[in-house]
Amino acid sequence: MNDPRTLLSLDEALARLAAGAARHTLLEAETVSSFDALGRVLAVDLDSPIDVPPADNTAMDGYALRAADLAQAGGVLPVSQRIPAGHVGTALQPGTAARIFTGGLLPEGADAVVMQEQCEALAGEGLGQVRIDAVPQPGQWIRRRGEDVKRGTTVLAAGTRLTPQALGLAATIGAATLVVWRRPRVALFSTGDELVLPGQPLPPGGIYNSNRHTLRALLQAAGCEVQDLGIVPDRLDATRAALRQAAEASDLILTSGGVSVGEEDHLKPAVQAEGELQSWQVAMKPGKPLAFGRVGKALVMGLPGNPVSSFITFLLAVAPVLRTLQGMDAARPAPLLLRADFDWPRPDRRREFMRVRFNAEGGLALFPNQSSGVLTSTVWADGLVDNPAGQVVRRGDLVRFLSLDALVWR
């Protein structure tokens, strides 16, 4: 077994990855419709050209009035005008009320809105009268101009990944287009003669290639354009050919399998022949073999072949590289300190990432089989416990929890 003291720490590996990725940060921006920008990353700050809301308006259906005109509940005022949303009223005559609907512009002179549930419409000349059954306070139920966004303020900073709510905010300030970084182009392939594509017959000794689906989906979730090169045979010439093809139009080449030191592991010599490679053994579990290098202008990252190792290594090592390439903050979400409702009496000498999920008591339950080949654990889990090397966990201890949702979709 490798001595963890001779392995690279995960933090050191991530620092080296960040430094290498920073030299390849994508600098090509493009303008896209804000209607189709989900998941893209802003290349420039988005500043608001307007106040939001653009004018004082009502937050409720009701009646706009001068608070001073109604000293006590039960007072009756004539209704002088009707103001639906999208229409502009006239200055409010003293001693009158305006019927107003949610979003309607507050008429000049009004300083309060009384919700319709506290009012009773009465018959009368013109638009009738209204009895107000509550004493209004100045400013109530009024949304002030600019209370959400002030004109000239930055509403979305460069480097922001555009979520549904961010796109709604962009639309709120009238942004029809957004300047974003182009998507990273990633070529993906797996190595292994034992791998079979789903839908094909499974021969003796074969396994279905789950990593292809998992990694492709993770890349798409990270906002990448994916070129899927499928399964590459366990031959040096085939691996070199795949690397050359992938490097032609890619920013990153991502592989799974073939990164160890066995006779059938060809990625290391193939990258060394076609470009340059730093190949590390990282003190983490699951995982350990991790390759990082370059072929042509494309970065190369090689992940372990075991499906859980590949999945977790992607979240911890590849995702920060992809964020760096897109001008984002590469730091992963901060862990939460949560209660372990399990015992872990025999920790590994490497830093461990254990699959856990919340239980009914608000603590963390541990998946019973933490093998790197048990992909069911990643579906069952809500997150990972980041456990330091050699750290025993006793029921009731606080542990560092990383949410899978945050790691996958950040």
Taking domain 57-143, whether its CATH number is 3.40.50.20 is answered by: no
The label of the residue with tokens 């259906």 reads 61
- Who contacts 337 (Cβ-Cβ below 8 Å, separation ≥6)? 398, 399, 400, 401
Contact status, residue 181 vs residue 326, Cβ threshold 8 Å: yes
Domain positions in the chain are: 4-26+183-325, 29-52+149-181, 57-143, 336-405
**Same fold? 4-26+183-325, 336-405:** no
What is the distance between the terminal CA atoms of the chain, rounded to a whole angstrom? 35
CB contact at 8 A, 34 and 177: yes
Q: Output DSSP code: residue 184.
A: P
- Helix, strand, coil share (%) of the chain residues, nearest 5: 25, 30, 45
For domain 4-26+183-325, is the CATH number 3.30.590.10? Answer: no
What 3 state SS string does 346-364 have?
A: CCCCCEEEEEEEECCCCCE
Query: Looking at domain 336-405, what is its CATH homologous superfamily?
Result: MoeA, C-terminal, domain IV (2.40.340.10)
Contacts of 257 (CB under 8 A, 6+ apart): 190, 191, 192, 195, 211, 265, 267, 303, 304, 305
Provide the residue-wise pLDDT of the chain in tens; the chain has 410 residues: 455 557 899 999 999 888 888 877 666 899 999 999 999 999 999 999 999 999 999 999 999 999 999 989 999 999 999 999 999 999 999 999 999 999 999 999 999 999 999 999 999 899 999 999 999 999 999 999 999 999 999 999 999 999 999 999 999 999 999 999 999 999 998 887 788 888 888 889 888 888 899 999 999 999 999 999 888 888 889 889 999 999 998 999 999 876 655 445 678 888 999 999 887 889 999 988 888 999 999 999 999 888 999 999 999 999 999 998 888 888 888 999 999 999 999 999 999 999 999 999 999 999 999 999 999 999 999 999 999 999 999 999 999 999 999 998 87
pTM of the model: 0.86
The second-level CATH assignment, the architecture, of 29-52+149-181 is Alpha-Beta Complex (3.90)
